[in-house]
Chains A and B, each alone.
Chain A
Amino acid sequence: EAGVAQSPRYKIIEKRQSVAFWCNPISGHATLYWYQQILGQGPKLLIQFQNNGVVDDSQLPKDRFSAERLKGVDSTLKIQPAKLEDSAVYLCASRRETHNEQFFGPGTRLTVL
C-alpha cells in the first residue's frame, strides 16, 4: 500500500510570511497526526484528527498555527505568521482505527530566515 504522502519536502521562508503543508494519509486511516520535530529532539504532537474532527490540539500554538482535515482524508497545516523558532521538520502520521501502529510520512523541512 502507498505510504503517507507529504508536500513540499522542503520550504524556506522569511519570518512573518505564511506557509502551508499538505498531507495525504494512507487510504482508510481514520486518525491523522501532525508532529513538529525540532533539530536534535523527538517529534512533538501538534494536533490529532479522528476523521475530520479534532481529538487533541492542546500543543498547537493556535495564535499562529491552524490545521484542517476536510472530508476526513487530506489535511493541511498552516503557519501564519512564521517565526524563527518554527524552523523544524513537520511530520504527518496516520493510523488505522483498530491498530496501534502509526505510519509516518517523510516530513517537510521548514527553514524560517
Chain B
Amino acid sequence: DAKTTQPTSMDCAEGRAANLPCNHSTISGNEYVYWYRQIHSQGPQYIIHGLKNNETNEMASLIITEDRKSSTLILPHATLRDTAVYYCIVRPYSGNTGKLIFGQGTTLQVKP
C-alpha cells in the first residue's frame, strides 16, 4: 500500500503557481520523498526527490516540513502542458532496488 495521502484533484490557473500537497506521516528517517507525474497516455516522468532539505530543479521545487510528515511540490508557473496526474511516493529503503509504490495521485488540471 502507498504510504502517502494526496488530494484526488486540483485546479490551477495557467501562469500561476501550482502547489500540490502530500501527507506522509509515517515516513521513516531514511526514506526519500519522490514526485513523478503522468501526462495522459504517457509513462510516468520523474520530477524531483528529497530527503529533508528543500530541493529545486528546472521543473519544480520540493518543500519538506521539518518533521518530514508532509511535503509540497511547487510548479512555479504552471502551463497547460503541466496538466497530469502527480504522484507523491515515499521510497522504501531496501538497499538499491529503487522500488516505487504508486498511490492514486493528484490530478492537476491547469486551466487557461
Q: Which residues of A contact B30 (CB under 8 A)?
A: none
Contact with A along B25-54 (1 / 0, CB 8 A): 000000010100000011111100100000
CA of A42 to CA of B14, assembled, Å: 26
Knowing A41-B104, A42-B102, A42-B105, say if A105 contacts B96 (CB, 8 Å). Answer: no
Report the nearest B residue to A101, measured CB to CB: B46
CA of A113 to CA of B6, assembled, Å: 33
Contact with B along A19-45 (1 / 0, CB 8 A): 000000000000101000000111111
CA of A104 to CA of B32, assembled, Å: 20
CB distance from A2 to the nearest CB of B (A): 14
Knowing A42-B2, A44-B102, A106-B42, say if A100 contacts B49 (CB, 8 Å). Answer: yes
Report the nearest A residue to B87, measured CB to CB: A42
Q: Which of A75-113 contact B (CB under 8 A)?
A: 91, 93, 95, 97, 100-107
CB distance from A33 to the nearest CB of B (A): 8
Knowing A42-B2, A97-B96, say if A104 contacts B44 (CB, 8 Å). Answer: yes
At the interface, yes or no: A55 with Cβ under 8 Å from chain B? Answer: yes
Q: Which of B83-104 contact A (CB under 8 A)?
A: 87, 91, 96-104
CA of A107 to CA of B42, assembled, Å: 7
Which of B45, B96, B105 touches A104 (beta carbons < 8 Å)?
B45
CA of A7 to CA of B34, assembled, Å: 28
Indicate if the CB atoms of B44 and A48 lie closer than 8 Å: no
Report which B residues bind A (CB closer than 8 A): 2, 32, 34, 41-46, 49, 87, 91, 96-105
What 4 A-B pairs come out closest when comparing CB atoms?
A: A104-B43, A42-B102, A101-B46, A43-B102
> Can you list 21 pairs linking A and B with CB atoms under 8 Å apart?
A31-B97, A31-B98, A41-B104, A42-B2, A42-B87, A42-B102, A42-B103, A42-B105, A44-B102, A45-B101, A48-B98, A56-B97, A56-B99, A91-B43, A100-B34, A100-B49, A100-B91, A100-B98, A101-B46, A107-B42, A107-B43
